[in-house]
Chain A
Amino acid sequence: MPTFHLPSVLSAHIGGTRAVETSGATVEQAIDRLVDQYPQLAPRLRDASGAPYPFVTFYLNDEDVRLVGGFGVAVSDDDEVTIVPAVAGG
């Protein structure tokens, strides 16, 4: 199953969990499963229409999902999806 890696800014909303195994044939389906499991993440990952936010990036393994086909790109069981929202602390 593909694994999501979540940073602190997101994991704080799901009890500190930083890695979540999920299912789905595409990144979009995997996000669907992730928010099924953690509905509180839904508004923090994509907008109400399901489109990506300009301030949250998804990396499929090492590649920006936007550059390899968007949310519709296929994922396999051993893929890792790293979610990287913009943070500004310094």
Chain B
Amino acid sequence: MSTTLDSIDETTSTTALPELTRAEVERYSRHLLLPEVGMDGQRKLKAARVLLVGAGGLGSPAALYLAAAGVGTLGIVDFDTVDVTNLHRQLLHGTSDIGRSKLDSAIDRLREVNPHVKVEPHEVRLTSANALDLIGAYDLVVDGTDNFQTRYLVNDACVLTGRANVYGSIFRFDGQVSVFCTPDGPCYRCVYREPPPAGMVPSCAEGGVLGILPGLVGTLQATEAIKLILGIGEPLIGRFTLIDALSARWRSVNIRRDPTCPACGTRELQSLIDYDAFCGIPTTPAVETSVLEITPTELAERLRRGDDFDLIDVREPHELAIASIPGARLVPLAAFAAEIPSLDQGRDIVVLCRSGARSATAVRQLQAAGFTQAYNVVGGILRWSDDVDPTVVKY
């Protein structure tokens, strides 16, 4: 069964498909030799407009392959700058791009890959105010975002505009790929009606990700996009491909449109909503229990004086090999609650982690257990590196 999208059909059913130049015919020769592509298919690719949401881990391979394949117009939404920690997986960007806008970097790289492709940069955050206009201006979307708010926003905007959502998502060693929001298939909400509570699922910045994984997943997304444009093969509609890079285990499970889905089932969702609120993201500073804090500079001074206190590092064991602070003992956050009964309430307890977030959680656990002398090292090892000891690496 092959499926072509309405939005693509509108373009391809006309006789106005763009002709290929001589240079393009030469460039796409190996495509043209495929009867499933041929001249007409390559002209469909040239006519196609694909919007990439995110120029990061997934957006990088997707953009590179879609450009190389000759997709005529690539829109890219991103407002971030290139950071050195992006480079182990975001192949659109290189070392000399650190600090540049990701869009500027992407434009340069894609121009080098294929100068026949038009890149339309959208240096904005995708929001409920602009998503319908942005997505509606393209034939399909490749979702390469990195947070739940934007995932649901992209999904709902695709349902409302009738655009396919070529979805990919990654975490550590696992990937997910599907094609959502087609006329008969399920949407993201059919699979995950609601997001997890904020903070329950760590981000890649917190939990890590195998650098190659977005290469696998983003390339699959690009493959599905090409198939949809050409109307060939069996698109990943109604199937959810799960990739386990560690075991090299790939499985495609069956998913279906949920008739009770508020987006694509009942259609009660007729406009975009506040996705921060939907995902439990506070729009004002979090009203959380305040914790006592100590700066890295103050901690260094207490260590220098030889004060009596218990210094606990709540990171994971493998993080110790990256960076550490002398004198701290390791109690990973997951095991911290079990450690509390053995701690001395009469001593100061100072808790640290990479950034100060996990340690604040641990200090709140101590407060809840009645401890009044528990302190969070604000800024964690990152700030220790800035303020106390620059030889300690930041990661």
Contact = CB atoms under 8 A, between A and B. Distances in A.
Interface stretch (B26-34, B50-58, B370-378): B50-58
B272 interface: no
- Give the one of A54, A87, A90 with max B CB within 10 A: A90
The 4 closest A-B pairs by CB, nearest first: A8-B172, A87-B171, A54-B193, A89-B204
Contact of B254 (A55, A56, A64, A90): A64
B253 A62 contact: yes
B215 to A, nearest CB: 13
Contacts of B273: none
Contacts of A89: 57, 146, 169-171, 203-204, 209
B254 A87 contact: no
- Sort chain B's interface into a size bin: 35 or more
A62 B241 CA distance: 10
Given A55-B194, A82-B242, A88 B172 contact: no
A71 interface: no
A35 interface: no
Contacts of B173: 8
Given A57-B191, A90-B56, A12 B196 contact: no
Interface in A29-69: 40, 44, 53-57, 59, 62-64, 67
Interface string B172-205: 1110100000000000000111111000111110
A90 B149 CA distance: 13
Contacts of A7: 171-172, 174, 242, 244
Contacts of A55: 192-196
Interface string A11-28: 011000010000000000
A55 B85 CA distance: 29
B144 interface: yes
